[in-house]
Amino acid sequence: MNDNLTFPGRVLFLTEDPDLLTGQLHGQDLALATAGKLRDQISTDEITPAWICYHFDEKLGDFPYLGLQAGNRFPCQEGLVRAGGFSVSVSGKRRGKGSSREASPYAELCAGIRLVIAESFERIYRQNCQNLGLFTSTDFGLLDCLRAGEAIPMAAFTEGLDPITAEIVRRGGLFAFNAARLKGEVVVPVPSHAPRPMTYAEKLLARHAVVDAAAGKVGLSTVAPGDGLFVQADWRFSHEYVTPMAASFLHKALGPGARVKDPASVLAFRDHLTFLHHSMKAEHRAQGLLDVANRLPPAQESFCAEQGIRLHGELADGSGSEGICHSIMAERYALPGQVVVGTDSHTPHAGALGCLAFGVGTTDIANAWVTGDVRVTVPGTLRVQLDGRLRPGVSAKDLVLHLLRDPFIREGGALGLVVEYMGEAVSAMDTDERATLTNMAAEIGGFTGLVAPDAETARFVRERRDVVITLEPWMRGDEGAEYAHTITVDCGALEPMLASPGDPGNGLPLSALPAPVKIDLAYVGSCTGGKREDLRAAHAAVRKAMDEGRRVPDHVRFYVQCGSEAVRQFAEAMGWMDDFRAVGATVLGSSCGACINAGPGVSERPDQVTISAINRNFPGRSGPGQMWLASPATVAASALAGEIRGA
C-alpha cells in the first residue's frame, strides 16, 4: 500500500458557468479562484443519467457528467472527460445526492478520475467511491498540493474515518479488504463501550453487529455513533439495473465459482425497465441503447439461476412486473427488528415497519452476497418530532416536501443520519403513509428513515401477509438516548405542498403558487406514490370529479401505475381503476417506469410540464420537461383540472 499518492493529470472544476465548464473540456485549465461558483447538489442522475446505466462495464467511462446542468446548458459530451486527461473532479455541497447508483463513481473512475473533492458528500455516493478505490476529500487545500505536484499522504484520505473504512481506503477498495478479511489478514476491530442509552437505530445495529465472522458470533451490547461495524443482513436485494454489474464485479474479483451465502435471504427484482420499450427516445434507439438495455434482464436471470436466488420478474402476459422492489419488500418480507439492504437509495421504504433498511452500492451488494454482511459506520439520529395531526387532505408526501425545504436539511445537516419519525402525527398514520416518510429519507440525505414498530405495524403485517407478529419491548429508543438534532413540526399547520422543477427541496405551499400552471402530464405511481393509500387518496379526487361530470382535459395525459401487483389487484377489486379509466386516465401495469425515465408518463420535450407523485425531480429524471412534485391527491386533482390545483 502506497502511503504517498500523486494524481498526475488535470483538475476539472464542475462550475455553474457553462462557458468555463466547456472551456475546461476543450483544454483550458482553471484554478479554484477562477472557477467561479461550483455546482452544489449534483445528483447521480446528472453524473450518469438513467440511460447511461444500461452499460455495466468500462464503457461507462465515456459518459460521466452528461446530465450535468450548468446554467441552462449541458456542456459535457460523450468522451470529453476521458479524453481531457482529468484525474481530479471538484464541486460544492451535497455531491452525489439521489440514486445509489454506483455507475456514477464507476463512470468517473473509468474516465480517469482518481480523486473527488467536494464541500460535502451524500453517504452512499462517498461509500461507493471508497469501495471502488476512488479517493474523496472535503479539503480544498489539497488543490494547492496538486498544483505544486506534491505527493499527498494517505492519511489525508483516512483521517476521521472509522478503522474499517480507513483500511478499505488504504487497501484500494472493498473487494481487496474483504479478500484480506476472509484470509484472516485483517482483524476487524470490535468497538467496546460502557452501557449507554441507545436510539432504536443504534439498538438494531448493535444486535446485528458481527463480532466473529468465522464463529458466526453476532451482537454487541452497545454501539455509538462513529463506530465501524460489519452488520449481518436479514435480507439482501438488487434490481436489474445493478445485478449484472454486481455479478461481473463478483466474478472478476473472486472468479466464476464464487457462491452466494444463504441464497434464501437474497432477492432480485425486475422492476425498473419493464416499460422501457414504450418510452425510449428515437435518438437512443438509433444508438442501439435498447439493445444494450435488453442485455440486463438475461444477465440477471442467468446469475439468479446460477446462484438459486428468487427473482421477482415480469408477468407472463407482459403487462407489467410483480412490483417495485421496495413495495414488495414492505408487503411480503421486511419485519420489525431486521436489517434490510438493497441496491437502491429508496430501500428505507421498509423502515416504516420498524426495520433498519438502507441502500448500498454495487460493490457492497456483491461483497454482501458472499459474506452475508455489510459495513456500516454507526450514524447519528435526527429526531423528527411530528406534533399534532395532519389535517384532512394533507398527506405524508406534503409533510416530506415541507421537511425538504427546511434550511437544516436543505444545507445538508441530515447527511448520513438516521431520520427517525416520532410523535402524535406518525402514530396516527397507517404504514403506507409512514413508508412515504421513510422512503424519502433518500431525498433528505439520510442514512435511512425509521419508525419504531407499534400496533399499526402488526396490523399491516397481519393484513398484507396473514402473519401475526409479536413486538418486543426493546424495539424503541431508550430514555435519555442522544440525538444529533431535533426538528419539530406542527403538523396541524401544514397544507398541501409542491416542489418546483429541479430539486425536491424546492418546496412551496400549494396556496403560494403565484399563478396557474398549465400541465401536460400527470403521473400517480412509483414506490413513493403507488401504494394502497396513495391510490385511495388519488381516487377520492377522481370520484369528486366524476360526481361533477368532469373528465381529464384533452391536452393532459394522466397515468396511474401501482407499486405492486398486490396493490393493483386491490385497487381493481375496490373499483378504483374503473373510475380512473372512466375519467380518461391510462392505467399501467406495476413497475417503476416514468420515475426513472423508463416508461409512459415521461415528458418528451423541454416545454412540457408534468406534475408527479414520484420522489425526485432532478433535471432529466423523468424526461426533458419541467416536473413538479406533489401528493397523489394533488396530482389527480391537477390532472382533472388541466393545471396545478389542490384536491
Neighbour count for residue 442 (Cβ, 10 Å): 30
pLDDT digit string (tens) for 168-184? Answer: 999 999 999 988 988 88
For the chain, the structural domain boundaries read: 4-171, 232-374, 378-493, 498-641
- pLDDT recorded at residue 214: 84
Whether 507 shows a pLDDT value over 90: the answer reads: yes
**Confidence category of residue 628, pLDDT binned at 50, 70, 90:** very high
Closest CA to 64 of 83, 39, 41: 83
d(CA 635, CA 538) in angstroms, rounded, equals 7
Whether 351 shows a pLDDT value over 90: the answer reads: yes
- pLDDT recorded at residue 558: 98
Q: Would you give the DSSP letter of residue 350?
A: G
Output the nine-digit C-alpha cell for 624.
Answer: 426533458
Neighbour count for residue 397 (Cβ, 10 Å): 29
**Confidence category of residue 550, pLDDT binned at 50, 70, 90:** very high
- pLDDT recorded at residue 1: 60
Give the pLDDT mean for 528-536.
Answer: 96
pLDDT digit string (tens) for 393-449? Answer: 999 999 999 999 999 999 999 999 999 999 999 999 999 999 999 999 999 999 999
CATH superfamily of 232-374: Aconitase, domain 3 (3.30.499.10)
Task: CATH number for 378-493: choose from 1.10.1040.50, 3.40.50.720, 3.30.499.10, 3.30.70.360.
Answer: 3.30.499.10
Closest CA to 105 of 129, 76, 80, 136: 129
**Confidence category of residue 50, pLDDT binned at 50, 70, 90:** confident
- Return the CA Rg of the chain: 24
Question: Strand order in 418-422's β-sheet?
Answer: 448-450, 418-422, 381-387, 485-490
Whether 316 shows a pLDDT value over 70: the answer reads: yes
d(CA 565, CA 571) in angstroms, rounded, equals 10
| 479 against 51, higher pLDDT | 479
Strand 339-342 versus strand 381-387 pairing type: unpaired
**Confidence category of residue 193, pLDDT binned at 50, 70, 90:** very high
Strand 373-377 versus strand 381-387 pairing type: unpaired
Give the pLDDT mean for 540-553.
Answer: 96
Output the nine-digit C-alpha cell for 14.
Answer: 464542475
**Confidence category of residue 18, pLDDT binned at 50, 70, 90:** very high
**Confidence category of residue 215, pLDDT binned at 50, 70, 90:** confident
**Confidence category of residue 190, pLDDT binned at 50, 70, 90:** very high
- Percentage of residues of the chain with pLDDT beyond 70: 100
Question: CB within 8 A of 215, min separation 6: which ones?
Answer: none
Task: CATH number for 498-641: choose from 3.30.1050.10, 3.30.499.10, 2.40.110.10, 3.40.50.720.
Answer: 3.30.499.10
Candidate from 218-227, 373-382, 588-597 with smallest mean pLDDT: 588-597
DSSP reduced 3-state for 591:
coil
Whether 647 shows a pLDDT value over 90: the answer reads: no
24 to 68, 146, 575: CA distances (angstroms): 14, 17, 58
Q: Check the CA dihedral 594-434-355-415 and report its sign.
A: positive
- Same fold across 4-171 and 378-493: no
What angle is formed at CA 315 by the lines to CA 314 and CA 321, rounded to 5 degrees?
A: 50
- pLDDT recorded at residue 2: 66
d(CA 113, CA 135) in angstroms, rounded, equals 9
d(CA 82, CA 111) in angstroms, rounded, equals 4
Q: Which residue has the cell 402530464?
A: 521
- Is residue 371 within 8 Å of residue 261, measured between CB atoms? yes
- Is residue 7 within 8 Å of residue 85, measured between CB atoms? no
- pLDDT recorded at residue 232: 97
Burial of 624 (0-12, 13-18, 19+ CB in 10 A): middle
d(CA 102, CA 106) in angstroms, rounded, equals 6
pLDDT digit string (tens) for 234-278? Answer: 999 999 989 999 999 999 888 889 999 999 999 999 998 888 887
d(CA 130, CA 94) in angstroms, rounded, equals 16
Output the nine-digit C-alpha cell for 586.
Answer: 391510462
Q: Was domain 4-171 assigned CATH 3.40.190?
A: no
pLDDT digit string (tens) for 416-426? Answer: 999 999 999 99
- pLDDT recorded at residue 349: 97
- pLDDT recorded at residue 206: 98
Chain CA centroid to CA 564, Å: 18
- pLDDT recorded at residue 332: 97
pLDDT digit string (tens) for 270-310? Answer: 998 888 887 788 888 888 888 888 889 999 999 999 999 99
d(CA 438, CA 200) in angstroms, rounded, equals 14
Q: Would you give the DSSP letter of residue 623?
A: B
DSSP 2-50: -SEE---SEEEE-BS-HHHHHHHHTT----GGGS-SBPPS-BHHHHS-G
Strand 235-239 versus strand 228-232 pairing type: unpaired
Question: What mean pLDDT, rounded, does the chain reach?
Answer: 94
- Is residue 342 within 8 Å of residue 361, measured between CB atoms? no
pTM confidence score: 0.89
Q: Give 3-state DSSP helix, strand, coil % of the chain, rounded to 5.
A: 40, 20, 45
Q: Would you give the DSSP letter of residue 273?
A: S
- pLDDT recorded at residue 277: 81
Whether 58 shows a pLDDT value over 80: the answer reads: yes
